[in-house]
Amino acid sequence: MKDFRKQAEKLVDQMTVEEMASQLKYDAPAIPRLGIPGYNWWNEALHGVARAGTATVFPQAVGMAAMFDAELLGKIADAIAGEGRAKYNEQSSHGDVGIYKGLTFWSPNINIFRDPRWGRGHETYGEDPYLTSRLGVAFIEGLQGDGVYMKAAACAKHFAVHSGPEKERHSFNAVVSAKDMEETYLPAFKAAVCEAGVEAVMGAYNRTNGEPCCGSETLLKKTLREKWGFRGHVVSDCWAIRDFHEHHMVTATATESAALALKNGCDLNCGNTYLYILKALDAGLIAEEDIRRAAVRLFTTRMKLGLFADDCEFDKIPYEENDSAEHNLLSLEAARRSAVLLKNDGILPLDRGNLKTIGVIGPTADSRTVLEGNYCGRASEYITNLEGIRRTAGEGVRILYSEGSHLWNWRVEGQGEADDRLSEAVTVASHSDVVILCLGLDASLEGEQMDKSNTFDSGDKPDLLLPQCQRNLLEAVCAAGKPVVLVLNSGSAIDLSFAQEHCDAILQCWYSGSKGGRAMAELLFGDANPSGKLPVTFYYDGTLPDFRDYSMKNRTYRYLREKPLYPFGYGLSYSRFRFGGLKTEPGEETGDVMVRGSVDVTNVSGRDGSAVVQVYLDKQPGEKLSGGRNDGLSGLLDPDNQPVRSLCWFGRVQVPAGEKVTVSFALDRTAFETVLEDGSRRVLAGQYTLYAGGSQPDERSRELLGEEDWDKTEFYAG
């Protein structure tokens, strides 16, 4: 076993303090006398190698979350790491060590998508801490690999409590309770560190409870290092340390900001504030050992990547592995599995034999940008929704196309709102047997604050509605009287209440990757079977708490007291599954498993299908969890501030038509723990209800499905 830290220490100890300090910035310069080449730490791989030319473009992260498939996500991450190595091996051979050319990928984003107005929410794995934890671990393990050397280095971001508002992120203070911190905001990061062994953690722009995240003693020292035992390196978000003195006003100068970040464990500066490190040293604000410690952590990562070795197994990966046919088929399969069928009155799958003319209408129909999302590479081939339908419909079907409206409400001089294409859209609809209406957003409407193309609120959405021009188009097309299938590309929840009432079917496709149009068309025509589930709740507009309020009350399915439009975990299929025979038994007396269980999944339809099994636990403290064994909780247990239910296991299983498959699962102690108001955890004594099925066990799912879609059992625990 190689001792990479010792190798790093040996190298760093040959440096002067000036040389050590120079290595703490993202664009670390070469040190020729020690044979150290320059290295740029800044790279991205959210859903494919990003911003570095041609690469396979997978569906955006929130779409991959909708697969509810940790195994496939791990394969995707491995493919991304392979493409990263292929590009690095070739580029470094030409001396190209610029930005987006390294092997340290600042992915995944495992923040909790607590509010659908947040513009960067589509970078995440959704709103649930358990789902995010499992997918985060799968992505990190897939990216880093299990060889002698790391295939690539993953980075869990943004630590912690970060989800908007984007326009205030450089000065915003997220105030969060100890309970919400432990119950919602930290579990995915803990799993990334303690289970997946993530190599890097990135701090957030904002403050959390008064401390700037990239210089937080609570987060970086007490939690990350001391409590969780993190041994990798910490990187700041880009130019976030500058915010300490310019916007957060917790320091007075750049020198003080550099010292605060370094002392509390931020090793690498994405930005230039660490140019003041030596001034901080001269002023006595830091010690030379602080600089050395950070440098050793950074060079340990480079040693793990084999950047100073001649026996790294990944050095031989050829350039041809990038954008390979195999990886593009993987992207296509991910797009198929990620799409969520929200409504189907029986019109889907479309019957080619009964169609002569299909109208394809909408501003996202022929758009490449709705396939990409943000933080993406460039595909060598894109299949838009329109192109996918053309390729899939068959030679005997005529395709009529109209853009119908602009993506958003831009104004034409002298004309006001630009609804100048509505009449053409209505004409196309009236001349078609069925309309495929393609609406949605793209990264210019929901994204990151620094992206100058963001049209709305610095990347955040002002509400949950489609832009007015698209709503006008939706109403006009539905009024034409022809069957309408709505295809929605977006990275977040949209209020589709009008579409739910007036459209015949709705397919949520997210930002679906370079082959997204082909996958969408295959699903519409029945060449593929929808199986995705919502990783976020779809709310009615106007029902959410204040965006700046970080309390989890009435947010996400776990705390929502109102009825949603579409619940977390919901999604239809062309197959029909029945769930029954749910059994549980106690886990081993020693070990982490508290309960083992199994459930039968029967395909009662005539079509093979993939079922996503979801296991939820109702552990809401109240009368049924009161009693002598729960005494001493006065002031620590608020029954009205508990999750309604929580996802505690999920898995995919292929079930042939007419057959039954038994799925086994194991639940660890964490699933049964109640988080008290002080942030501590405790398994309370009482009766617990466990549900296993194809959806969340809630009233709205029952309404949409027309029946219960789960089995349940009760047992005593604690």
Domain presence at residue 123: yes
Overall average pLDDT of the 154-181 stretch: 97
**Mean per-residue pLDDT over the chain, rounded:** 95
Domain presence at residue 541: no
Task: State yes or no: pLDDT of 77 exceeds 90.
Answer: yes
- Looking at residue 156, what is its pLDDT? 99
Task: State yes or no: pLDDT of 544 exceeds 60.
Answer: yes
N-to-C CA span, the chain: 42
Task: State yes or no: pLDDT of 122 exceeds 90.
Answer: yes
Domain presence at residue 682: yes
Residue for token digits 């397919």? Answer: 507
- The verdict on 350 and 213 lying in the same domain is no
- The verdict on 338 and 314 lying in the same domain is no
Overall average pLDDT of the 610-617 stretch: 98
pLDDT tens digits, 176-188: 999 999 999 999 9
- Looking at residue 631, what is its pLDDT? 66
Find the CATH number of the domain harbouring 698: 2.60.40.10
- Looking at residue 143, what is its pLDDT? 98
pLDDT tens digits, 5-40: 999 999 999 999 999 999 999 999 999 999 999 999
pLDDT tens digits, 219-260: 999 999 999 999 999 999 999 999 999 999 999 999 999 999
- The verdict on 406 and 313 lying in the same domain is no
pLDDT tens digits, 257-302: 999 999 999 999 999 999 999 999 999 999 999 999 999 999 999 9
Farthest-apart Cα atoms in the chain, separation: 80
- Looking at residue 619, what is its pLDDT? 82
Closest C-alpha to 151, from 9, 351, 314, 394: 314
Task: State yes or no: pLDDT of 456 exceeds 80.
Answer: no
- Looking at residue 417, what is its pLDDT? 55
How many residues are recorded in the chain? 718
- The verdict on 369 and 309 lying in the same domain is no
Percent of the chain with pLDDT over 90: 91
- The verdict on 596 and 666 lying in the same domain is yes
* Total number of domains constituting the chain: 3
- The verdict on 286 and 391 lying in the same domain is no
- Looking at residue 412, what is its pLDDT? 45
Q: How many CB atoms lie within 10 A of CB 640?
A: 9
pLDDT tens digits, 337-363: 999 999 999 999 999 999 999 999 999
- The verdict on 356 and 286 lying in the same domain is no
Token readout for 60 is: 């955006």
> Could you write out the three-class secondary structure of 431-467?
CCCEEEEEEECCCCCCCCCCCCCCCCECCECCCCCCC
- Looking at residue 717, what is its pLDDT? 76
- Looking at residue 640, what is its pLDDT? 86
User: Among residues 256, 446, 504, 522, which one is catalytic?
Assistant: 446
- Looking at residue 591, what is its pLDDT? 78
> Is 446 a residue of the active site?
yes
Overall average pLDDT of the 666-672 stretch: 95
pLDDT tens digits, 148-160: 999 999 999 999 9
Quote the pTM value. 0.97
Q: How confident is the model at residue 415 (pLDDT cuts 50, 70, 90)?
A: very low
Higher-pLDDT residue of 91 and 715 is 91
Question: Which among 536, 569, 585 is the end of a domain?
Answer: 536
Domain presence at residue 648: yes
- Looking at residue 454, what is its pLDDT? 53
| DSSP 8-state assignment for residue 153 | B
Task: State yes or no: pLDDT of 718 exceeds 80.
Answer: no
- The verdict on 182 and 217 lying in the same domain is yes
Q: Is 642 in a helix, a strand, or coil?
A: coil
List the single range of 430-434, 637-641, 687-691 with lowest mean pLDDT. 637-641
Task: State yes or no: pLDDT of 411 exceeds 60.
Answer: no
Parallel, antiparallel, or unpaired: how do β-strands 484-489 and 434-440 relate? parallel
Domain presence at residue 543: no
Q: Is 711 in a helix, a strand, or coil?
A: strand
Q: How confident is the model at residue 639 (pLDDT cuts 50, 70, 90)?
A: confident
Domain presence at residue 571: no
Find the CATH number of the domain harbouring 515: 3.40.50.1700
Task: State yes or no: pLDDT of 413 exceeds 60.
Answer: no
> Is 546 a residue of the active site?
no
- The verdict on 316 and 350 lying in the same domain is no
- The verdict on 435 and 584 lying in the same domain is no
Task: State yes or no: pLDDT of 626 exceeds 70.
Answer: no
Residue for token digits 């708490």? Answer: 545
Task: State yes or no: pLDDT of 453 exceeds 90.
Answer: no
Backbone angles phi, psi at 326, to 5 degrees: -60, -45
Task: State yes or no: pLDDT of 623 exceeds 80.
Answer: no
Q: How confident is the model at residue 715 (pLDDT cuts 50, 70, 90)?
A: confident
Task: State yes or no: pLDDT of 450 exceeds 90.
Answer: no
- Looking at residue 241, what is its pLDDT? 98
Overall average pLDDT of the 639-645 stretch: 91
- The verdict on 397 and 512 lying in the same domain is yes
User: Among residues 237, 403, 504, 698, which one is catalytic?
Assistant: 237
Closest C-alpha to 73, from 83, 60, 91: 60
Token readout for 129 is: 């801490």
pLDDT tens digits, 498-511: 999 999 999 999 99
Q: Which domain holds residue 92?
A: 4-321
- The verdict on 296 and 358 lying in the same domain is no
Instruction: Report in angstroms the alpha-carbon separations of 6 from 154, 268, 300, 381, 401.
Output: 21, 20, 8, 45, 63
